[in-house]
Chains A and B, each alone.
Chain A
């Protein structure tokens, strides 16, 4: 097999753009947390934007190539080395047969995306190679990459040129603090006006429970609920609702403390109230937040959410032009 996994980092998974269509059965869409970075890495190596690559969280893997390939590393600043020699990120890199790809320590962001020409061609499940470990779907036998795995590659058909690089202004790098735009809604009316204000005023910190299912935040004030008699079947805690669906990006606050933003591997439903939803344009950014990153939630209306979405789309168009 073309790629021999020597070490796997902390959590390295095969991801593409996911498997939408099964959320009504509790199977989330999954796929790269930072889709912009995966798409860009794929474009650099001449793949379809949705080809499967590796998502390496916090620590890079060590991979031996048994055939020539072109690779690119985008997203988090996780500097790659080929046979020990340091290489740039956001750049198409040639790797020769027998060479080893390794990584320095993480400098910025949280997840690096490693695309390989041809794309990783493990067997798809429900139309996607994305790893969903809870449901044992995709990836390598339904799990994350492990040392000793051999990763197959598809047929490289692109016109990637080693050395091609994404201009600095088109790279999306997380800063030392973050702002996430939020459209209030869902069960927003369940908290008091003071709590609504406080949620947006406070600075929150990314907690250690920050994974593909969701990101937890701490450090803000406890949310106060509007008093009510709990509806039948909702449960006794004021943060409980009759179990309902959870939108991707929705913000639930169990017990009124420590908001959780659900991400690509979201649980599809449950019994906690949600106060709103992070806009689609800012979902990628969440995947690049390290624990303890100070984060503000910024209240927006639908028009602003759609404008942000268009802005993201036009940025991707510029990447497509730059790599064409």
Chain B
């Protein structure tokens, strides 16, 4: 049973589970879909998150208690809905151990758990990997699900589609940095993220992607429909690249020639739970088909 609570007189907050899991994410997504389909007068925004969601409403149009009752009544239907997702898989190129996040992590070393190493060396060590390379293989191996978009401008949170024993866990910085390069691939708790804009941040920094994911001017061809690239439910596969390819993609980005590799896929949580590696292999096949 989810926990329903008010966020003042304009929000209802629903915690599906205290802990993150793919089940909790799908339950939250099913609920937000049910609320959207119900088109309740007075509901103004629906914000899905990792294992919870939030509804913003206008109390001049619907009484908070009436909306609360209505949302609770939707939960049973949502629970019956199939945990299936029509979505897309996207390949995101990453230059791990890049010079820009390296420079930044050195600047803020006194805020880190391991002042003598790098973020990647620390993350690899505490997760039991012999080498940074082996750790990068794990991070870029199995795909990731975008479980939330937010914090700031189109920033995706991603959760790796592996069982809990294979999940990477890394604490955030001891004190947040005041700077993070744009498009840094970060890590905090059990979530990866891509910093959509330059700014403050507390996640560990693993690398950087040359792929623009937020473009308020909408000059990037694949962001002309909307300035934010990611949406909850997207599936991401990181691809480790070298500096030469990074530079090439940056050049392509600048002249509007870069198109991310992506394919439409259907993801079923039941199939995934029955055969995790097989499902992920199928996703990879779909990504590379044509």
A26 touches B6 (CB 8 A): no
Which residues of A does B touch, CB under 8 Å? 20-27, 125, 134-137, 142, 183, 185-186, 188, 231-236, 240-245, 247-250, 267-271, 274, 276-280, 302, 305-306, 309, 313
A20-B45, A243-B148, A247-B56 are known contacts; what are 5 more A-B pairs with Cβ within 8 Å? Answer: A22-B228, A186-B5, A244-B49, A247-B7, A269-B148
* Bound form: Cα–Cα A313–B9 in Å: 14
Q: Could you list 20 A-B pairs, sorted by A, with CB under 8 Å? A: A21-B45, A25-B154, A135-B153, A135-B216, A183-B9, A185-B6, A232-B164, A234-B19, A234-B189, A235-B172, A240-B189, A247-B7, A247-B8, A248-B10, A269-B49, A277-B8, A280-B59, A302-B6, A306-B64, A309-B9
Contacts of A306 in B (CB 8 A): 9, 59, 64
Please count how many residues in chain B sit with their CB below 8 Å of the partner chain's CB atoms.
Answer: 56
- Chain A residue numbers with a CB within 8 Å of B90 are none
Q: In the complex, A125→B218 CA distance in Å?
A: 11
Cβ contacts B178-197/A at 8 Å (1 or 0 each): 00000000001111000011
Shortest C-beta distance, B287 to chain A (Å), equals: 24
Q: How far is the CB of B143 from chain A (nearest CB, A)?
A: 18
CB distance from B195 to the nearest CB of A (A): 11
A59 to B54, CA, bound (A): 36
- Contact for A267 among B11, B21, B65, B151, CB less than 8 A: B151
B9 & A241 in contact (Cβ 8 Å cutoff) = no
Distance between Cα atoms of A26 and B213 in the complex (Å): 13
Q: Closest CB-CB distance, A237 to chain B, in whole Å?
A: 9
What are the 9 tightest A-B residue pairs by CB atom distance, in nearest-first order? A247-B7, A277-B8, A233-B20, A245-B54, A268-B150, A135-B153, A231-B19, A26-B150, A231-B18
| Contact of B152 with A135 in the complex, beta carbons under 8 Å | yes
B282 to chain A, nearest CB (A): 26
Given contacts A25-B149, A244-B15, A268-B47, contact A309 B6 (CB under 8 A): no
Q: Is the Cβ of B6 less than 8 Å from the Cβ of A23?
A: no
Nearest A residue to B172, CB-CB: A235
Per the 8 Å Cβ criterion, residues 50-97 of B in contact with A are 50-54, 56, 59-60, 64-65
| Residue from A25, A27, A278 having most chain B Cβ neighbours under 10 A | A25
Q: Once the chains are docked, how many angstroms separate the CA of A244 from the CA of B191?
A: 12
Contacting pair B6 A183 (CB below 8 A): yes
> For B171, what are the chain A residues with a Cβ–Cβ distance below 8 Å?
235-236
Contacting pair B18 A242 (CB below 8 A): yes
Given contacts A25-B150, A279-B9, contact A243 B197 (CB under 8 A): no
In whole angstroms, what is the CA distance A268 to B46 when docked?
Answer: 12
Does B157 make an interface contact (CB < 8 A)?
Answer: yes
Q: A193 CB to closest chain B CB, in angstroms?
A: 18
- B152-A245 in contact (CB<8A): no
Q: Which residues of B contact A276 (CB under 8 A)?
A: 8
- The answer to whether residues A278 and B150 also contact, given A21-B45, A271-B188 and a CB cut-off of 8 A, is no
Minimal beta-carbon separation of A82 from chain B (angstroms): 36
Quick check: is B233 within 8 A (CB to CB) of the other chain? no
CB distance from B43 to the nearest CB of A (A): 12
